[in-house]
């Protein structure tokens, strides 16, 4: 009974999160006039047209399922740039003089700064604008850098033990380098610890998506609810690719003569060829666009291979 009550609380929080996401313009709708129906859409959340939040006990846990039959290449989710959590969106809102911040951050990598900012944002609790999103972050990750000494020794193979020890050493060094900035921001004691650093760093390394302007990537609300599928598992049917390229005026325009009869031309000239597999950030719509990587029947789990690791992203828990 206790587990059912806990799951019920989580589902209520998730519904609130999906409504919050809809207010940001996140949508699984393919309607061109979506923006004119924002109020109606927000009242029922950002999912329902192409995707639905579901539980897949044998395949990653909580994830996104197809709410209709999907065809490979279908646009299934759009997350506007304004909804991304990035190093810059957090760093630029810190309430300290920018010059002072830059002095302490100048020797840190973009990922280290993002990690510090994420910890700072977590420390705000319910006062954070990102709170509806942050409370659904996993509490723990299974990465080499998070292994304790017992787990490291249990690897037994010398090369594996060396890799784990190196990952832990690297994480500790990056944490120590960032200590001055964290202290400057007056992070709460629990967010200054190495354990907290490991959590934030693992969150960024496993859940961020690639963006062209920042090597640290972005945290993408709703977009990181997909469970992971290893890239390369599927093959693209060449005739299917050709027909889709010809059907899209934007893509056809990128070909030298608009001729879709030559497969080599499609691969050579089409900048959105890879989006038929998963997706990416698209400048023309200023959004991260997710596409079906294969055909799905209604109810099947929809997978993506855009994340930076093979971690399952479905184990969402309330942490605040």
Which token pair is 2? 């206790």
* Lowest pLDDT segment from 161-165, 276-280, 309-313: 309-313
Question: Is 205 among the domain residues?
Answer: yes
Which token pair is 24? 């940001």
* Lowest pLDDT segment from 105-109, 192-196, 226-230, 312-316: 312-316
Question: Is 140 among the domain residues?
Answer: yes
Is 252's pLDDT higher than 70? no
- 183 and 74 both lie in a single domain: no
- Name the residue range of residue 34's domain: 2-84+224-234+277-304
pLDDT value of residue 258: 42
- 9 and 55 both lie in a single domain: yes
pLDDT value of residue 249: 33
β pairing state of 303-304 and 51-56: unpaired
Higher pLDDT, 225 or 260: 225
Instruction: Supply the mean pLDDT for the chain.
Output: 79
Alpha helices, H only, the chain: 2-23, 38-42, 87-91, 98-105, 110-122, 131-134, 149-154, 158-177, 179-184, 189-192, 194-207, 238-247, 249-253, 263-269
Alpha-carbon radius of gyration of the chain: 21
- 37 and 156 both lie in a single domain: no
Which residues is 63 bridged to in the sheet?
54
Of 166, 184, 217, the one marking the end of a domain is 217
* Lowest pLDDT segment from 40-44, 117-121, 312-316: 312-316
Mean pLDDT value of segment 44-70: 88
Question: Is 182 among the domain residues?
Answer: yes
pLDDT value of residue 227: 87
- 69 and 105 both lie in a single domain: no
| Percent of the chain whose pLDDT exceeds 70 | 73
Question: Is 313 among the domain residues?
Answer: no
Confidence of residue 144 (pLDDT cuts 50, 70, 90): confident
pLDDT digits (tens, 9 = 90+) for 83-120: 999 999 999 999 888 888 888 899 999 999 999 999 99
pLDDT value of residue 313: 37
- 199 and 146 both lie in a single domain: yes
Is 195's pLDDT higher than 70? yes
Number of independent structural domains in the chain: 2
Confidence of residue 2 (pLDDT cuts 50, 70, 90): low
225 and 313 Cβ atoms separated by less than 8 Å = yes
* Lowest pLDDT segment from 55-64, 115-124, 296-305: 55-64
Is 24's pLDDT higher than 60? yes
* Lowest pLDDT segment from 16-20, 229-233, 311-315: 311-315
Mean pLDDT value of segment 10-19: 86
- 183 and 110 both lie in a single domain: yes
What is each CA distance from 209 to 53, 85, 200, 293, in whole angstroms?
Answer: 20, 10, 15, 16
Is 309's pLDDT higher than 90? no
Mean pLDDT value of segment 38-59: 75
pLDDT value of residue 142: 84
pLDDT value of residue 231: 62
Q: Is 320 helix (H, G, I), strand (E, B) or coil?
A: coil
- 102 and 198 both lie in a single domain: yes
Is 70's pLDDT higher than 70? yes
Polymer length in residues for the chain: 320
Higher pLDDT, 17 or 307: 17
What is each CA distance from 115 to 182, 186, 281, in whole angstroms?
Answer: 10, 15, 22
- 54 and 151 both lie in a single domain: no
pLDDT value of residue 97: 85
pLDDT value of residue 241: 39
Question: Is 112 among the domain residues?
Answer: yes
């Amino acid at each position: 009974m206790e587990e059912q009550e806990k799951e019920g609380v989580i589902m209520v929080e998730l519904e609130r999160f999906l409504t919050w996401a809809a207010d940001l313009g996140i949508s699984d709708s393919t309607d061109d006039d979506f923006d004119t129906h924002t109020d109606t859409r927000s009242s029922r959340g950002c999912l329902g047209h192409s995707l639905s939040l579901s539980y897949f006990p044998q395949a990653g846990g909580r994830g996104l399922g197809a709410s209709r039959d999907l065809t490979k290449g279908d646009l299934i989710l759009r997350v506007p740039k304004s909804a991304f959590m990035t190093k810059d969106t957090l760093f630029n809102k810190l309430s300290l003089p920018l010059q002072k911040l830059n002095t302490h951050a100048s020797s840190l990598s973009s990922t280290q700064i993002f990690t510090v900012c994420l910890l700072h944002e977590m420390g705000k609790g319910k006062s954070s604008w990102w709170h509806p999103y942050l409370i659904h972050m996993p509490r723990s990750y299974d990465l080499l850098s998070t292994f304790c000494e017992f787990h490291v020794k249990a690897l037994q193979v010398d090369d594996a033990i060396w890799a784990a020890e190196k990952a832990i050493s690297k994480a500790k060094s990056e944490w120590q380098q960032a200590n001055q900035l964290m202290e400057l921001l007056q992070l709460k004691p629990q967010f200054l610890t190495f354990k907290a650093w490991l959590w934030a760093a693992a969150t960024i390394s496993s859940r961020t998506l690639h963006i062209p302007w920042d090597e640290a990537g972005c945290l993408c609300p709703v977009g990181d609810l997909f469970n992971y599928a290893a890239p390369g598992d599927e093959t693209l049917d060449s005739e299917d690719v050709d027909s889709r390229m010809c059907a899209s005026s934007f893509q056809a325009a990128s070909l030298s003569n608009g001729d879709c009869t030559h497969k080599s031309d499609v691969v050579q000239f089409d900048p959105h060829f890879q989006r038929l597999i998963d997706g990416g950030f698209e400048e023309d719509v200023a959004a991260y666009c997710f596409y079906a990587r294969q055909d799905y029947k209604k109810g099947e789990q929809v997978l993506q291979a855009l994340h930076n690791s093979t971690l399952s992203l479905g184990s969402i828990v309330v942490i605040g």
